[in-house]
Structure 1
């Protein structure tokens, strides 16, 4: 504990000591006056402590009030929602399907923008767009307006690589390029540190058309303490899209998205329309951490002082029929 005005603390201590000394001298003088008159002080039922408790409570309250003028403060752990969230958007051609209005990508963008606006500035949010490759379009930060702008700029093009999306998201979290080790060369997995306050939200229809192995990339994230929440955007029945003059059928692949999420102890969420997408974002489990914060205790000191004054006054009235 510390005090904003240490000099007033010394004054409070001096006043408190003076009050207790004065009370002691007053009791001795009263006893001496009674003895001189040949009288003895009455012994209230309950013993001597009953006679002294109410005034001592009131004296302690006065000391706390003086202590409050010194502005006491203490460093206490305060819970808060914090950490890093990477929103990884599938921007492949299949995300242009209209089985969710207006399109799969459009519905995901709307729900993600609403999610970003609801987060406190203690949560850093980044954006990764992935198709056949992956691109970090917004580094994690607390400028949520810029994050929303980056989300709204996304457009569809190309194929899908869930593995590359996870690696790009990890790169944004740890601040350095991340890649899978070469199994043929016997390379050990990279040491990314431990990032338990980081979450990757992977929004995709689950159609993986190549690139790094998605499950292996998820295992790398799990080793770094990063959870992956996967959001399946689309319907199981699917839809037909037109790419370069060809008609292609596309449907939601839940199996891969579920496996990726479970690998990191995350969860898979099915979002078949814009409304359910909003519900998915509301259910995401952000980490609750603690932050050491300097908290002023003046209010607590005054509150306790008023409580002691009230108790002391009530006891004086109840036991002795007077305040002083």
Structure 2
């Protein structure tokens, strides 16, 4: 928590000053008290008040004054609030292993369906960009609010050889740099940027969905360092099971070089039809976790369609929030007023009930 007017903290001196004044008045009253022959008789005749009844109203009153004085400083609290200018770069792995059928009908089809649901459910006003990567990465759709364009691009996803996770992160950074002037492109030398709040991030976020390990291009952790230097969070999703399964993709999902150099019997691509090659899971969870941790994101693992849908469905709540200083003066003033009124009210009430009305 921070304050806008720190000099107003001097108002807190009112509490010790009031205590000092109370002590001085009590001492003066004792000196001026009349001496009587039997103090015990007078004490017995006066209505008694327990020590806690004397202290509680005073404590409430002084605490309320302290809260009111604190409100004068215009305190601010860092809270997570919805961002109004969020953009999300969704990078989808389209390597040949996405044809694996351990998640029916295959990983690519399930990932595409989950991405469609994510796009449809994302609140209006959020820009979404689409990156596809295999051995290379490319920006299919620049960040936009046009959901129909994004859905149409999802339908064009085709597999190819290789897995360039690091390149996908760099492509996403450059796409964000085009719309956010606070984010530098990957070719820009940032020098030694000033030390920033470790919890302060740009509203733009990168989401990487992959079923494998980086096989070409820049290392994912090196790319993540570029994202971290620009205060961009990267959320990573490892998709697939550890069970060996056939790789079967439809003709619409197969790119021209998806299985280049890997011909099956009779010259057929092993990804077509049944009886193709078998593939085991090769997710580099260590690297994906390191990428997320380095950038302030989070790593998720999804082993079936339901888990992937849940992960993508929960992401907007994580991504759509950013830390912002919000003034909470009102709550200080409200609490202070309530405590002052409570303390004064209790003091008056207990004083009234402690006095016996005179007889007529």
TM-score, with structure 1 as normaliser: 0.58
Distance 1:310 1:276 in 2: 57
Cα distance, 1:220–1:246 mapped onto 2, change above 3 Å: closer
Q: Which residue number corresponds to residue 77 of structure 1?
A: 77
1:90 matched to 2:96? The reply is no
Q: Quick check: 2:213–2:282 contact (8 Å CA) kept in 1?
A: no
Distance 1:176 1:61 in 2: 49
What displacement does 1:134 show?
A: 1.4
2:236 to 222, 229, 251: 229
Structure 2: 5+ residue runs without aligned partners?
A: 6-10, 178-182, 257-267
Cα distance, 1:162–1:322 mapped onto 2, change above 3 Å: farther
Q: Which residue number corresponds to residue 291 of structure 2?
A: 264
Q: Which residue number corresponds to residue 180 of structure 2?
A: none
Q: How many residues align?
A: 283
Distance 1:252 1:317 in 2: 85
Q: Quick check: 2:139–2:175 contact (8 Å CA) kept in 1?
A: no
Q: Quick check: 1:62–1:305 contact (8 Å CA) kept in 2?
A: yes
What displacement does 1:109 show?
A: 0.9
Cα distance, 1:290–1:316 mapped onto 2, change above 3 Å: farther
1:202 matched to 2:208? The reply is yes
Cα distance, 1:277–1:156 mapped onto 2, change above 3 Å: same
Cα distance, 1:151–1:190 mapped onto 2, change above 3 Å: same
Q: Quick check: 1:76–1:295 contact (8 Å CA) kept in 2?
A: yes
1:260 counterpart SS class: helix
Q: Quick check: 1:232–1:252 contact (8 Å CA) kept in 2?
A: no
Q: Which residue number corresponds to residue 325 of structure 2?
A: 292
1:178 counterpart SS class: coil
1:134 matched to 2:138? The reply is yes
Distance 1:206 1:55 in 2: 66
Q: Which residue number corresponds to residue 217 of structure 2?
A: 212
Distance 1:218 1:283 in 2: 24
What displacement does 1:277 show?
A: 0.6
Q: Which residue number corresponds to residue 164 of structure 2?
A: 162
Q: Which residue number corresponds to residue 308 of structure 1?
A: 343
1:276 matched to 2:307? The reply is yes
Q: Quick check: 2:208–2:236 contact (8 Å CA) kept in 1?
A: yes
Distance 2:238 2:286 in 1: 12
Q: Quick check: 1:127–1:150 contact (8 Å CA) kept in 2?
A: no
* 1:182-226 C-alpha deviation (Å, 9 max, x unpaired): xxxxxxx97696887475321133386x7514xx14323146535
CA RMSD of aligned residues (A): 5.7
Q: Quick check: 2:61–2:341 contact (8 Å CA) kept in 1?
A: no
Q: Quick check: 1:89–1:202 contact (8 Å CA) kept in 2?
A: yes
Structure 2 counterparts to residues 26-41 of structure 1, below 5 A:
none
Distance 1:53 1:253 in 2: 72
Q: Quick check: 1:73–1:294 contact (8 Å CA) kept in 2?
A: no
Cα distance, 1:111–1:306 mapped onto 2, change above 3 Å: farther
